[in-house]
Amino acid sequence: MRKILLILLFFVAVAIAILSLGELERTWQTLHHSNFLFILLAILLFLGWTLNDAAGYGSLYRLMDVREKFWRLVLLSSSTNFINVVAPSGGFGGVAVFVDDAGKRGHPRGLAAAVGALYLFMDYAAFMVMLALGWAVYIRRHDLQPGEITASFIMLGIVLGMGVLIYIGSRSGEQLGRVLAWLSRQINRVLWPLLRREYFHEVAAREFGVEVAEGLSILHLKHRGILVPFLFALNSKFLQVLILGTTFLAFDVPFSTGTIIAGFASAYLFLVVSPTPHGIGMVETLLPLALASLGVSWEEAVIITLTYRGITFWIPLILGGISFRILQRQ
């Protein structure tokens, strides 16, 4: 069954690459007209972002009195980028990477699930800080659009929903299990006319809630320790903002700090709430519009978007696929 799943994931990844081949080709052509030193700097920032995320996961493991090898965390963290594209599920596909790895090595699956879920929540919460700064820029420039307002409230709902579930799980595994089973039932009811089958299994959702709560219960004793993982998540967003800034420098496009922050806020917002895997097509379409509204010319906005996506989507996808394969072979 595992081999079948790996083959399926491989073909999904190939399909995504083929469907996006035109975008990849345009990105490669665009890079030929850039200042390579700034592109190299952006790639180094991406590597720093990857290592920072691994350190963030490590801080959560230490919070739960577990020591995990740093380079294994790098592989796991990188693999989540690949899984979140080929098996999009709002970021929760990456949590499955940690759960599967823990199960294969005989470690508590619930603890690994708690680490993955907590870091995803920290990541989204850190983005809300950047989104608030982006809103401030748009409001000051009288350029806040209805689409961005709607997407922002959807994002806020996701973060608050995750926060409530984590709080419930830290209190009671049984209660979290009941809530997840109820959510599974409601989702199945909505999707039944389309799928004619259950998308989520209620019993599995209940058992998963109980497992995750085992790791979340540590928050009762060490709730202040959650600040360190949050700082890692916030630094991750800062590094991504710097990557966007270096793409402006690579093409000698004038910019202000507000333009970079608001542009990043829009890009990440479109990525999270997009119905397509990792915002494929949506970010490439909407980010140039957002940058143009911030005073960047349309041609430069398209070039910057293609370059930024090349560094923050294609490179992580390729390295994530390699990392995922290494973990499976181990």
| Single-letter residue type at 178 | R
pLDDT for the residue numbered 26:
55
CA atoms 167, 224, 107, 84: torsion sign: positive
Long-range CB contact pairs, 108-112, < 8 A, 24+: 108/211, 108/214, 108/215, 109/211, 110/210, 110/211, 110/212, 110/213, 110/214, 110/215, 111/64, 111/66, 111/214, 111/215, 112/215
Q: What are phi and psi of 200, to 5 degrees?
A: -120, 145
- Residue whose C-alpha is closest to residue 166's, from 118, 198, 210, 201: 118
pLDDT for the residue numbered 260:
95
CA–CA separation, 171 vs 217, rounded Å?
7
What's the chain's length in residues? 330
pLDDT for the residue numbered 30:
55
Residue-by-residue pLDDT tens, the chain, 330 positions: 444 344 344 444 444 444 444 554 555 555 556 678 888 999 999 999 999 999 999 999 888 888 888 999 999 999 888 887 766 555 666 777 888 888 777 777 778 888 888 898 999 999 999 999 999 999 988 888 888 888 899 999 989 998 898 888 888 878 888 888 888 788 778 767 766 677 667 777 777 777 777 777 777 667 677 889 999 999 999 999 999 999 999 888 888 999 999 999 999 998 888 777 777 778 888 888 889 888 888 888 888 888 898 889 888 888 988 888 888 776
The DSSP result for 80-133, as a single string, is HHHHHHHS-STTHHHHHHHHHHHHHTT--HHHHHHHHHHHHHHHHHHHHHHHHH
- Residue whose C-alpha is closest to residue 70's, from 82, 83, 80, 56: 56
Q: CA torsion angle for 23, 28, 30, 33 (degrees, to 10)? A: 180
- Global pTM reads 0.82
What would the two tokens of residue 116 be? 């993955």
Question: How many other CB atoms sit within 10 Å of the CB of residue 69?
Answer: 9
How many Å separate Cα 59 from the centre of its chain? 18
Question: How many other CB atoms sit within 10 Å of the CB of residue 285?
Answer: 12
pLDDT for the residue numbered 204:
72
CA–CA separation, 30 vs 193, rounded Å?
45
Helices 257-273, 227-250: crossing angle, 10 deg rounding: 110
CA atoms 83, 79, 131, 303: torsion sign: negative
Locate tokens 């920072």: which residue? 52
pLDDT for the residue numbered 8:
42
Exposed, middle or buried by CB within 10 Å (0-12, 13-18, 19+), for 111? Answer: buried
What would the two tokens of residue 255 be? 């910019």
